[in-house]
Structure 1
Amino acid sequence: MACKRIGETRQDMASCYQNQEPYFSFGVIADIQYADRDDGLSGWRTMRYYRQSCLHLRSAIEQWNAEVTLPKFVLQLGDIIDGSNNRLFTSQKSLDAVLNEIKNANMPFHHIWGNHEFYNFNRDYLRDTKLNTTWMQDKLQDSENEASHGGSPDGYDYYAYHFSPCTKFRFILIDTYDLSVLGRSKDCPVLQESVAFLDGGYLTNSNGSDERHLQEFNGGMGREQLAWLDNVLTYSDQNNERVIIAGHIPIHPAAKRSYCLAWNYDDILKVIRSHECVVCYLAGHDHSGGYYLDSHGIHHITMEGVIESPPGTNAFGTVYVYEDFMVLRGSGRVKERLLPYRRHTQKRDDCFKCSCSSTTGEEG
């Protein structure tokens, strides 16, 4: 029998999920960043295991394939190959190597685009690769607003879509490089808008945050995509769905340990906090990982990066979805977490500042 109230203790929930079957499960993995090159230090002075990362992916797929009940899908949170492939002229070769590993998976992969995708390819190129998984998107047939149907509407080139793997649950993949100086042609209006955004230091921030996250390796969401996201979340509110959002870049200042934060994270948070359906946001980008439960009851999970996992370990997880909570079972550097859904009455404005030098925290 499912737990009836999320007010029960975490111990009660742990006991509860051990005695019931989940509705479904899904895999999650981030920052594989494969390259056929020797290990080396990054600009952050952390060791990266470039060839090992593809072996880690293979091991993760073998474990997902061995599950008694297969995960319905895997969320690949971006940076599937390393940016160094560009200068080595091995971008397509490395991408093919990783995709050949994914062919062995007995479940589909949903791909998100990160900064390293754009170090290697432009947007038009990516749309013609197997990293474009918008073909798996849902269509909300009973919505009158065309902008909420499936992926990004005609006329906009952000890469975002949503799907429902099970009744009353919806996943939304967002494009956190919609605003970006990466992957766009020089005459693209969005590029010009993004350059102006950076040059202006985003002085419209009203929460007193510093601007150290306004780096070229980060990005943000434009007005049109935010409106699209708001429309999809409105649909989920109206249909009593629980929503998991996934993007490459963290959107909460406390869910990462570096400057890896979406440019206009406060705009994104305002949208998702205005909807009771959102229960979790999954990101990669910061290879150290992170976690924060915000005051609206939304779990912000930053997955540890595969690329910085030495031989003998790994960094991926499987999420089991229940009626009142989810369980993240991590492998290697990824911790196990019990993730209760938020109370619908738990809704107030969060007061926070971007503290890019702070360590990850947990609220509550």
Structure 2
Amino acid sequence: MSSSAIMATGHLNGHQKQPLCSFGIISDVQYADIPDGRSFLGVPRYYRHSIQVLQRAVKNWNNHQSLQFCINFGDIVDGFCPKDESLTTVQKVIKEFEKFNGPVYHMLGNHCLYNLPRKSLIELFKIPSLQDHAYYDFTPTPEYRFVVLDGYDISAIGWPQDHLKTLEAMKLLQVKNPNTEKNSPAGMVGHERRFLMFNGAVGKEQLEWLDGVLQDSTTCGQKVVVCCHIPLDPGASSSEALLWNYDEVMDVIHRYKCVKACIAGHDHKGGYSVDSHGVHHRVLEAALECPPGTDAYGHIDVYPDSLSLSGTDRMANTEMVFSS
């Protein structure tokens, strides 16, 4: 969606009060020390420039002083990164994030998992984890809780090949995707095109955990922001980039009134929608697709009745005003 279309959804810069908290956002840095290339669809990708976008983002966030934390929405390294350089490349990008004057919250993306096993990534990202799962929540202000989902909980990448979660993912892909190349949606129709190997699903245990967190948030009177690398709403994303079981996740979310927004990466062009229950969905534009000298990052001001995203360059401003 264009910047003007997104801005038209609200009253940008109409806030008089101080935000409850503010945080930095960036997605899909996908850095690699390799020449520029193109996506499967022919969109230019600037592998070496993307780390400069991150460096400018961190500098900008630090100049803000009012930003309490930042969130990386996944894919900090690209799948084309030479495998013998994967660890040092991931460490190099993490080092840039660590220059931010506050906590950094990470989540797993498919490109991260092409490079390193999830166990290693969880340690490098300092993700609070139980049995190599990468979902967690945090409460930066009493009024709000942030939930970070593990979109590659059921996945054909990241887990050992003989792991039950890998087997479950492969079984699902065999049923849903008729192509030999499981990253190809050829011949698949509508939202069925999401059953590609570079996507994943939220497993049963994680769904139960999410339900418990939302129940607790409702009891505590908190509003919730759900973060996931993979988008959860077809209105904000192309079908090929959706979470395999986005419908199941949204069924849990829609049981409660506390979730006000879902923020994601993965679909590089970005997007915005409000679903039938009034939940805002914002997919962030990718740092990787910024030509030299341009940027895609931003920060979000959190208010009792809205979230206000101030984007830089290719990341569109978005005003997410809650319906209730």
Q: How high is the TM-score relative to the length of structure 1?
A: 0.80
Which residue is equivalent to 1:24? Answer: 21
Which residue is equivalent to 2:126? Answer: 132
Aligned residues of 1:257 and 1:288 also touching (Cα < 8 A): no
Could you tell me how far apart the structure 2 residues matched to 1:258 and 1:193 are?
21
Q: Which has the larger radius of gyration?
A: 1
Aligned residues of 2:301 and 2:308 also touching (Cα < 8 A): yes
User: Which structure is higher in RCO with an 8 Å CA cutoff and minimum separation 6?
Assistant: 2
Could you tell me how far apart the structure 1 residues matched to 2:280 and 2:245 are?
19
Structure 1 runs, 4 residues or longer, greater than 6 Å off: none
Residue 75 of structure 1 aligns to which amino acid in structure 2? Answer: I
Which residue is equivalent to 2:59? Answer: 62
Aligned residues of 2:145 and 2:217 also touching (Cα < 8 A): yes
Which residue is equivalent to 1:253? Answer: 234
Give the alignment of 1:338-357 within 5 angstroms.
Answer: 338-343=319-324
1:322 shift after superposition = 1.1
Residue 283 of structure 2 aligns to which amino acid in structure 1? Answer: T
Structure 2 residue corresponding to 1:169, chosen from 140, 144, 148: 144
Structure 2 residue corresponding to 1:268, chosen from 249, 262, 280: 249
Which residue is equivalent to 1:352? Answer: none
Deviations 1:235-274 (A, max 9, x none): 0011110000100000111111351010011101101111
Deviations 1:40-96 (A, max 9, x none): 1122211111110001100001100111x3311111000001111144x21012112
Could you tell me how far apart the structure 2 residues matched to 1:212 and 1:132 are?
33
Bigger mean CA offset, 256-265 vs 226-235: 256-265
Aligned-residue sequence identity (percent) comes to: 38
Residue 289 of structure 2 aligns to which amino acid in structure 1? Answer: E
Which residue is equivalent to 1:145? Answer: none
Could you tell me how far apart the structure 2 residues matched to 1:178 and 1:60 are?
29
Which residue is equivalent to 1:356? Answer: none
Which residue is equivalent to 1:72? Answer: 68
Give the alignment of 1:169-318 within 5 angstroms.
Answer: 169-201=144-176, 210-257=191-238, 259-318=240-299
Could you tell me how far apart the structure 2 residues matched to 1:190 and 1:24 are?
37
1:192 shift after superposition = 1.0
Question: Is 1:331 paired with 2:306?
Answer: no
Could you tell me how far apart the structure 1 residues matched to 2:237 and 2:141 are?
30
Aligned residues of 1:78 and 1:284 also touching (Cα < 8 A): yes
Q: 1:251 to 1:117 in 2, by over 3 A?
A: same
- 2:310 is paired with a residue of what secondary structure? strand
Q: 1:210 to 1:100 in 2, by over 3 A?
A: closer
Could you tell me how far apart the structure 2 residues matched to 1:86 and 1:301 are?
32
- 1:269 is paired with a residue of what secondary structure? helix
Could you tell me how far apart the structure 2 residues matched to 1:264 and 1:133 are?
23
- 2:140 is paired with a residue of what secondary structure? strand
Deviations 1:84-128 (A, max 9, x none): 1144x2101211221221222112210000001110011222233
Residue 269 of structure 1 aligns to which amino acid in structure 2? Answer: M
1:321 shift after superposition = 0.8
Which residue is equivalent to 1:321? Answer: 302
Q: 5+ unaligned residues in a row in structure 1: which ranges?
A: 1-8, 135-150, 203-207, 344-364
Could you tell me how far apart the structure 1 residues matched to 2:40 and 2:269 are?
14
Give the alignment of 1:96-111 within 5 angstroms.
Answer: 96-111=91-106
- The count of aligned residue pairs is 306
Aligned residues of 1:70 and 1:107 also touching (Cα < 8 A): no
Could you tell me how far apart the structure 2 residues matched to 1:215 and 1:71 are?
36
Could you tell me how far apart the structure 1 residues matched to 2:33 and 2:107 are?
22
Bigger mean CA offset, 274-283 vs 101-110: 101-110
Deviations 1:110-149 (A, max 9, x none): 00000011100112222332x1332xxxxxxxxxxxxxxx
- 2:316 is paired with a residue of what secondary structure? coil
